[in-house]
């Protein structure tokens, strides 16, 4: 098991310090290892996640070789040649578990941002004190975008948030964490071969959720009440001016509709008339949303690209990527004999990229891998 950094590297190096998991502690479970502290409904800090994964590495006796970066993988006769920063390894089967979020995704239009505006990603963002005084434009309103917009607004800065497709969620529903409902109703267990539009399911934005001790909801209504200004999707930057699309009303209506459908699914599953379904106020549309913002005027000093993450396969010298750079695989069985993947969106189930999602996927994938090795032995 090769790891370029230390155990739990992504949680140590690639997250901002104030982040907490958006999944509650009771959902932090790995094969044979689960949270057993006093606050099952709490949300782990980064230090706690790191400790949790370190403990798992110890109890599972995972044979991790830390400080070993894979720099190239090539196909050889009966398997793969793996070049690493600590020498070469040959293997008959290989599991790519290098993560779905190795790089922040930044749109190409970032190149047109005037030099006077500093640009950050969730990888380079630390805290509000790091930013120049003045306004911030957060691009993206999924989990990362809404969390950073709230933190920056609390620091007293003017914050504008550019909103594209979003997955609105209340923190709690009918008295329980909304993720309890995702698990209990079976939504998160839905298999990849049962999902209607798998390609779309794999590209869905992360839910607008934050893990706080108070279990607060963090949606656009909350942000607007805090004084954050929502604008439409960032469509272009022309001559230093950011142009936003005007369909905010539709974007909000769609998010509200999807939320209502999700809650109806929960209610139908619960089928419990004793507890009345809860419904939430529609997302408030601003009287007039700005359609453009001159980035040269000094009003915006920093842009934060909260526009998602992607894997990095720069080291993979096997033709298994599609034209968009995504790994071609069927439920983690990659399109090259003996090569497997884990930890990618909806790999085998909707829960695949979450910590608790790995157990079922890993079991299925390693079963296939074992058969592959058996077949080679015969």
- Options 270, 291, 315, 360; binder of ligand FAD; rule CB under 6 A: 315
∠ CA 319-334-28 to the nearest 5 degrees?
A: 130
Per CB under 6 A, the segment of 95-103, 213-221, 232-240, 286-294 that binds ligand FAD is: 95-103
With binding defined as CB under 6 A, does residue 295 bind ligand FAD? no
In this structure, are residues 161 and 141 in contact, taking their beta carbons and an 8 Å threshold?
Answer: yes
Please tell me whether residue 144 binds ligand FAD under the rule CB under 6 A. yes
Q: Hunting for tokens 């690639």 — which residue is that?
A: 14
Nearer to ligand FAD, 8 or 117 (CB): 8
Under the binding rule (CB under 6 A), the answer on residue 70 touching ligand FAD is yes
Q: What is the DSSP letter of 45?
A: B
Q: Of 156 and 186, which CB lies nearer to ligand FAD in the complex structure? A: 186
- Give the residue closest to ligand FAD by C-beta: 99
Contact pattern from residue 97 through residue 126 relative to ligand FAD, giving x for each residue in contact according to CB under 6 A and a dash for the rest: xxx-xx-------------------x----
Alpha helices in 185-245 (DSSP H): 198-201, 220-226
For residues 96 and 295, which CB has a smaller minimum distance to ligand FAD in the complex? 96
Q: Which of residues 8-67 bind ligand FAD (CB under 6 A)?
A: 9-10, 15, 21-23
What is the footprint of ligand FAD within residues 340-359 (CB under 6 A)? Answer: 343, 353-355
For the bound state, the minimum distance from the C-beta of residue 9 to ligand FAD, rounded and expressed in Å, comes to 3
Rule CB under 6 A: is residue 204 a binding residue for ligand FAD? no
Q: What is the dihedral of CA 320, 326, 331, 337, to 10 degrees?
A: 10
User: Residues 26, 192, 244, 309: which binds ligand FAD (CB under 6 A)?
Assistant: 309
For residue 40 the two structure tokens come to 């099952």
DSSP 300-312: EEEEEE-S-EE--
Helix (H, G, I), strand (E, B) or coil at 140: coil
Residue 160's nearest CA partner among 145, 181, 171 is 145
- Smallest distance from ligand FAD to CB 281, Å: 26
**What is the closest distance, in whole angstroms, from the C-beta atom of residue 67 to ligand FAD in the complex?**
9
Nearest to 234 by CA among 252, 250, 247, 222: 247
Please identify, using beta-carbon distances, which residue of 18 and 224 lies nearer to ligand FAD: 18
Looking up tokens 């409904």 gives: 41
Q: Is the Cβ–Cβ distance between 28 and 37 less than 8 Å? A: no
Query: How many residues bind to ligand FAD according to rule CB under 6 A?
Result: 25
**Number of continuous H segments (helices) and E segments (strands) in the chain:** 8, 23
Given phi > 0 = left and psi -120 to 50 = alpha, else beta, which region is 314? alpha
Residues that bind ligand FAD (CB under 6 A): 2-5, 9-10, 15, 21-23, 69-70, 97-99, 101-102, 122, 144, 309, 315, 343, 353-355
């Amino acid at each position: 098991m090769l790891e370029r950094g230390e155990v739990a590297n992504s949680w140590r190096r690639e997250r901002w310090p104030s982040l907490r998991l958006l999944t509650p502690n009771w959902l932090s479970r790995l094969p044979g290892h689960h949270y057993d502290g006093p606050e099952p409904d709490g949300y782990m800090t980064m230090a706690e996640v790191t400790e949790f994964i370190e403990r798992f590495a110890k109890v599972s006796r995972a044979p991790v070789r830390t400080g070993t970066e894979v720099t190239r993988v090539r196909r050889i006769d009966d398997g793969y040649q793996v070049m690493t920063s600590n020498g070469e390894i040959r293997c008959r089967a290989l599991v790519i578990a290098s993560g779905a979020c190795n790089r922040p995704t930044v749109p190409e239009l970032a190149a047109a941002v005037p030099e006077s505006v500093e640009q950050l990603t969730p990888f380079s963002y630390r805290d509000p004190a790091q930013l120049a005084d003045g306004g911030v434009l957060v691009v993206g309103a999924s989990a990362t975008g809404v969390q950073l917009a709230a933190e920056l607004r609390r620091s007293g800065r003017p914050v504008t948030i550019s909103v594209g497709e979003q997955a609105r969620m209340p923190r709690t529903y009918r008295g329980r964490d909304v993720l309890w409902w995702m698990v209990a109703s079976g939504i998160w267990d839905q298999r990849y071969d049962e999902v209607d539009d798998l390609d779309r399911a794999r590209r869905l934005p992360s839910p607008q959720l934050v893990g706080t001790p108070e279990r607060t909801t963090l949606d656009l209504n909350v942000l607007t009440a805090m004084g954050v200004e929502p604008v439409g999707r960032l469509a272009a930057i022309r001559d230093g001016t950011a142009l936003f699309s005007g369909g905010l009303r539709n974007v909000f209506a769609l998010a509200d509709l999807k939320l209502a459908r999700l809650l109806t699914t929960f209610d139908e599953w619960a089928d419990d008339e004793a507890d009345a379904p809860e419904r939430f106020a529609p997302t408030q549309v601003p009287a007039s949303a700005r359609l453009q913002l001159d980035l040269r005027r000094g009003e915006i000093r920093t842009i934060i690209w909260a526009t998602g993450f992607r894997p990095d396969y720069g080291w993979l010298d096997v033709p298994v990527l599609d034209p968009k750079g995504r790994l071609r695989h069927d439920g983690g069985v990659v399109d090259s004999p003996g090569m497997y993947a884990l930890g990618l969106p909806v790999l085998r189930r909707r829960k695949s990229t979450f910590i608790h999602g790995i157990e079922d996927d890993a079991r299925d994938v390693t079963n296939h891998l074992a058969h592959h090795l058996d077949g080679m032995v015969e």
